Amino acid sequence: MRRIVMASILIVLLSCSKDDTIDFDVKRNNIIGNWEITQASQEIRADTVYAESSTTFSISFNDDGTGTKETFIGTDVSFEWLYQYNPEKVVISGMQSGVVLSDVQFYNVIKNEMNRQIWEFEIYPQTGVVDLYKHTWKMDRKLGNRL
């Protein structure tokens, strides 16, 4: 009986691991490159959207887990990133230097394709009247710029 259980566990582990590894690699590699991002932001107070805004910027994700984000004053901010497969998330650290926000942000990956990505993240302020800031990134790959 013990052999049957061990054989069953081994079969399950071997049957899943190769496909998951391939899918992880494909999904992570989809992120690597240069992107034009439109960020839609919502400020939510008492379960009501109080304010909305939109901005665009460029960002680059390198294969070694580093990246750069274009700022509005013309300098780039460096950061580190990590892809998680299940549930699908991207963790970015260091992008908010000099800003009173969390230095680590967790992005929920809604869509992960080679030339199009959609990510969402939320910030819950500890003080003030704002309950939540919700941001959606609609990302389009810059043509000819896959790192």
Percent of the chain with pLDDT over 90: 61
Q: What is the mean pLDDT of the chain?
A: 84
Neighbours of 79 (CB within 10 A): 22
pTM of structure:
0.77
Residue 82, pLDDT above cutoff 50: yes
Q: Please tell me the predicted confidence (pLDDT) of residue 10.
A: 43
- pLDDT-based confidence at residue 100 (cuts at 50, 70, 90): very low
Pairing of strands 89-93, 132-141: unpaired
- pLDDT-based confidence at residue 110 (cuts at 50, 70, 90): very high
Evaluate the omega torsion of the peptide bond into residue 125 and state whether it is cis, within 30 degrees of 0.
Answer: no
Q: How far apart are CA 47 and CA 26, in angstroms?
A: 37
Q: Please tell me the predicted confidence (pLDDT) of residue 147.
A: 52
Q: Please tell me the predicted confidence (pLDDT) of residue 87.
A: 92
Q: Please tell me the predicted confidence (pLDDT) of residue 30.
A: 97
Q: Please tell me the predicted confidence (pLDDT) of residue 7.
A: 46
- CATH numbers and ranges of domains, the chain: 2-141 (2.40.128)
Q: How far apart are CA 36 and CA 57, in angstroms?
A: 6
